[in-house]
């Protein structure tokens, strides 16, 4: 599978989801975690990479519902905030523009 420049940009970056008590703080595990929202994805269709947050493996697991120690709504809020933080960094890096 071919990775986009936004997916590749997540490598080695600080987690932007930052769920307290969950985030492992290890940039070696960071990936672009897509925020899933009705109307932007579906069966077999991932959201656009602009709807992604740099997330460590543990925060990514929480966002995708693979952890039971955080509620779904709380994880979605942290994920959404992480998407916004990631977008700011991508703008600063010149990887996206408005």
Residue numbers annotated as active site: 34
The helix/strand/coil state of 59 is helix
The tokens for 46 are: 């991932």
CA distance 44 to 40: 12
CA distance 71 to 93: 33
Q: Are 65 and 72 in contact (CB under 8 A)?
A: yes
Residue 41's nearest CA partner among 25, 23, 64, 57 is: 64
């Amino acid at each position: 599978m071919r990775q986009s420049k936004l997916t590749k940009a997540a490598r080695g970056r600080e987690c932007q989801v930052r769920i307290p008590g969950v985030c492992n703080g290890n940039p070696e595990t960071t990936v672009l975690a897509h925020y899933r929202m009705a109307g932007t994805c579906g069966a077999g269709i991932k959201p656009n990479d602009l709807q992604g947050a740099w997330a460590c493996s543990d925060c990514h697991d929480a966002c995708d519902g693979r952890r039971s120690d955080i509620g779904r709504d709380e994880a979605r809020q942290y994920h959404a905030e992480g998407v916004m933080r990631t977008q700011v960094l991508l703008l600063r890096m010149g990887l996206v523009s408005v």
